[in-house]
Amino acid sequence: MNEARIPFTVIGGFLGAGKTTLLQRWLLAAAGRRIAVLVNDFGAINLDAALVAQAGADTIALSNGCVCCSIGDDLSAALLRLLATQPPFDAVVVEASGVSDPWRIAQYALAEPRLALHGVLVLVDAAGLAANLADPLLADTLQRPLAHADLVVLNHADRASSADLAAALAWVAQDAAPRHAAAAPVITTQRAALPVHLLFSLLEQPIHQARGGGWLAVGQAPGLAAPPAHDTRFEAWQPQPAGCFDEARLRAWLRALPVGVLRLKGWLLLAGGGWAELQFAGRHGTLRRLPANQPAPASGAAIVAIGLAGQVPVTTLTCGLQHCEVAPLMHAPALARRIGNTIDRSV
Amino acid sequence: MTATTVYSARRIHTMNPAQPTASHVAVRDGRILAVGDLARLQAWGPHTLDERFADKVLLPGFVEGHCHLKEGSLWEWPYLGWFDRRDPAGKVWPGLRSMAAVVARLAEIDAEMIAPTSTAAAEAEASGAAQAPLIAWGFDPIYFGGERMTVAHLDGVGDGTRPIVIAHANGHLMNVNSAMLHAAGISAETEVEGVMKFDAGPLAGQPNGELQEPAAMYLVLKHVGNAGLLAPLSEAGLRAFGAIATYQGVTTATDLVNRLAEADLAVLRGACGDDHFPVRIVPAFQAFHGTHGAAAGAEHVRALIATSTDRLRFGLVKMMLDGSIQGFSARLRWPGYFNSPNGTKNGIWVTAPAQYEADFETYHRAGLTIHSHTNGDEASGAAVDAIERVLARAPRPDHRHTLQHGQMIDAPMFARMGALGLCANLFTNHLWYWGDQHHDMTMGPDRAHRLNACRSALNAGVALAIHSDAPVTPLAPLFTAWCAVNRITPSGRVLGAAECLTVAEALRAITLGAAWTLKLDAEIGSIECGKRADFAVLHDDPFELPPSKLKDARIWGTVLSGRVFSASE
């Protein structure tokens, strides 16, 4: 596998927002991928004994190849233990404590070359938000994680009134605005129902198979009700970038990606030769040059961005990328596909 | 053993109000048999009169209610602090008051490491490895008037090829040189926010060598292993701690954050199982876990209590609500920070108040005594609120729960603590070490004048201890008492004269007061019949010295459960 860096996702959110439910869901729905989940303690995770292959003091190994590790008081040590595991995991997810800032944890993925920052998800208890915000001890603690959320998940929507939901949406928009041009994309969920595919490298996922069923068509772990065959809440933008690109322009483009991009990943050929890896997650764009001694990426030139259905700014993205091209060559029209329902939007 | 030893002394200050002073104390089976004059003690029958302390002054062995055993093991690395500090061998390392002094000290250490006799050099040569890194601790930029250390300072040490890592006193930052940056793969392209960069000049955009917060330090720790404050406890470190305790007159000390996992327990039991280990250790279980860890934690501590020995006492639990005031991470009530460098309004919760309350209740219902780290007044208030509710749901007489640090608590909050039976262990060493910074930067004059308000605590009937939080500041209870008595800062400012303690009150706070917070006051903390024969042995009588010289009273050593430990041997 050419893609040696492991996608690293941080899950933030205050007590009761549904972080544990989400992690449990993903561990059970790994669908053949090996996920490493780091949690603050095991007590909250409730795993069927039949799924546990081996339980140690700080690691529980599941029969589906996933592991759940206790962070204890030393995330550095827990990460180093994970990174020493062979073969490498397909994804690492870290649960931030209810009061910690997930962006600080995301820094580990910017620090460790074997990890790639893949996403910062912040869960919000839509039903309990008003009560939490009313506590003067908590207001700043609730706001801080939003600054770098690339997806805000308004969970417990089934328990929230429409007024609660409207107030929560307004709060997210208002809080995010001072620091960013626009608020983070917001999705509403019940019981933290989010696709496990959000954890994996965008370039390795069978997005091109969307016509055949999309993200969730790979098969399900036992114990979960069968989800819909595909997730209509997300959408991808996947152009076929055949030309050469200017590094400085790409960096500038990544710094100011248009509103609506949840995350982006790509490999592009640079004008001066060599490959650049592009990554946008946690509202933070990164460009890294592939060292000359490393083989070209298996995917070849490729780029994928995802966002919420109907919110991906396809035209702006396409124009932006074209502007970074130095020697425009013929390339296939960029395509946007609504994942799962096979609707392509040609640009 | 029924042999009785009677020690004569120039004076014995007992801390027992019914008999404040005496000339003799009789010891049998490691405990105090009698206190008084020789005639009164002779009534107990045959004894050996030991006159080695005839010209010394005995006090109850000092009790440090909030310190960490790292105070001993940190000395495995060189010290770079601003203040003079004594190592376990008793050598005083002078404080380094300029960047030039820090660099000069580093150059000396580098030269020693190059010397063929040095073990580090030999090891590096034997393994064929790159040069051994130079790791040092205790540096605190807050004293350098805004000047920050950079690679420009550190690259002048030696030939610049040895990696240098300097852990800051607060444990949250480090400085490294260019060789270390290179080895760790840190460059202008490194995007980690805690990797600080030059913002101007020819090196603009290049890393300047300061690394903030765990992710940035992770890059270095990957290469050098856990350095400084993060290093695991070793038995050698524990013995070094014992040496410091002896020359500071300490016979009982807490280790106020300990995982108490198998490896930790093995080290503690190894040292404390030896009768020649000079200090009784009270480790507090590190109850830093997720929302579901408290039940297992409480069960763990309860099981450990059954294995307590005279020198190793389990049963304490440590919880933590906020950060530190000088790090601007403590939670403050209105009006927040005074003059923070980057406009920080408030600090952070280390534990969510709701989780603190739930976990506290679990440990409380298990019958354990909980010591809670609360530095800022908002954190102290949140703890008092939570404990008030827990006590209403689950009343428990004489719980001895204690707020640790409690530096900004005011009189009304002490009144609530008094009503709830909460103890306070205040961090009076801050008055000296950061008193000027609190006055000018963190909280401003109004609140700095009631910093660590010992008098207000006593007025409210709150059981009071005072502490060093060693290694944050040095283990030295007489110094801690001196801070509470004089409340003076390095610039000569007196912070809130109305909060000063008398010498007698301060000495009580470092003996019986601290023993009370550990629920050991029936055994230690005063010199009276039935208690452990724990003494601090002094050359000077602290009651005869002017209060401004309290910290200078010379200490000969200690007696722990009847065994004599001389600081000079």
- The model's pTM is 0.91
Using an 8 Å CB-CB cutoff, list chain B residues near A251.
none
- pLDDT per residue as tens, chain B (569 positions): 579 999 999 999 999 999 999 999 999 999 999 999 999 999 999 999 999 999 999 999 999 999 999 999 999 999 999 999 999 999 999 999 999 999 999 999 999 998 766 665 556 555 555 688 999 999 999 899 889 999 999 999 999 999 999 999 887 899 999 999 999 999 998 999 999 999 999 999 999 999 998 899 999 988 887 655 567 889 999 999 999 999 999 999 999 999 999 999 999 999 999 999 999 999 999 999 888 899 999 999 999 999 999 999 999 999 999 999 999 999 999 999 999 888 888 999 999 999 999 999 999 999 999 999 999 999 999 999 999 999 999 999 999 999 999 999 999 999 999 999 999 999 999 999 999 999 999 999 999 999 999 999 999 999 999 999 999 999 999 999 999 999 999 999 999 999 999 999 999 999 999 999 999 999 999 999 999 999 999 999 999 999 999 999 999 999 999 999 999 97
Opening angle at CA B153, ends B147 and B156, nearest 5: 165
Query: Are A144 and A253 in a shared domain?
Result: no
Chain centroid, CA B522 distance in Å: 24
Q: Is B368 left (phi over 0), alpha (psi -120 to 50) or beta?
A: beta
- Is the residue at A220 inside a domain? no
Number of domains chain A contains: 2
Query: Are B223 and B269 in a shared domain?
Result: no
Residue of A nearest to B294 (CA): A43
Query: Are A150 and A269 in a shared domain?
Result: no
Q: In this structure, what are the phi and psi dihedrals at residue A140, rounded to the nearest 5 degrees?
A: -70, -35
The residue range of the domain holding A72 is: 6-202
Query: Are A250 and A197 in a shared domain?
Result: no
Continuous segment of H or E residues that includes residue B503: helix B503-508
A15/B288 CB distance under 8 A: no
Neighbours of B165 (CB within 10 A): 25
* CATH code of residue B304: 3.20.20.140
A15/B295 CB distance under 8 A: no
Tell me how far apart the alpha carbons of residues A62 and A269 are, in angstroms, rounded to a whole number. Answer: 40
Using an 8 Å CB-CB cutoff, list chain B residues near A42.
292
User: Cα separations (Å) of B550 from B24, B484, B491, B502?
Assistant: 24, 11, 19, 11
Query: Cα torsion for A156, A160, A165, A168, to the nearest 10°?
Result: -70
Query: Are B409 and B269 in a shared domain?
Result: yes
Strand bridging mode B563-566 / B555-560: antiparallel
* CATH code of residue A12: 3.40.50.300
| B292: Cβ contacts below 8 Å, ≥ 6 apart | A41, A42, A43, A44
Query: Any chain A CB within 8 A of the CB of B258?
Result: no
Tell me how far apart the alpha carbons of residues B100 and B394 are, in angstroms, rounded to a whole number. Answer: 58
- Is the residue at A327 inside a domain? yes
Query: Any chain B CB within 8 A of the CB of A286?
Result: yes
**Both tokens assigned to A18:** 């549904």
Measure CB to CB from residue B289 to each of A41, A104, A140 and give the nearest one: A41
* DSSP three-state, residue B507: helix
The residue range of the domain holding B362 is: 235-325+354-525
Structural contact between residues B135 and B77, judged by C-beta atoms closer than 8 angstroms: yes
Return the closest-CA partner of residue A94 out of A129, A67, A61, A128: A67
What is the 8-class DSSP label of residue B550? G
Query: Any chain A CB within 8 A of the CB of B293?
Result: yes
Specify burial of residue A68 (Cβ count, 10 A radius: 0-12, 13-18, 19+).
Answer: buried
Measure CB to CB from residue A99 to each of B191, B292, B352 and give the nearest one: B352
- Is the residue at A226 inside a domain? no
- Is the residue at B173 inside a domain? yes
Q: How far is A286 from chain B (nearest CA, A)?
A: 8
Chain centroid, CA B518 distance in Å: 15
* Cis preceding linkage at B471, omega within 30: yes
- Is the residue at A222 inside a domain? no
Query: Are B262 and B221 in a shared domain?
Result: no
Instruction: Report ipTM for this prediction.
Output: 0.89
* CATH code of residue A256: 3.30.1220.10
Number of domains chain B contains: 2
Task: Kindly report, residue by residue over A197-253, the tens digit of the pLDDT.
Answer: 889 877 766 443 333 334 422 222 233 333 344 677 888 888 888 889 999 999 999
Q: How far is B289 from chain A (nearest CA, A)?
A: 6
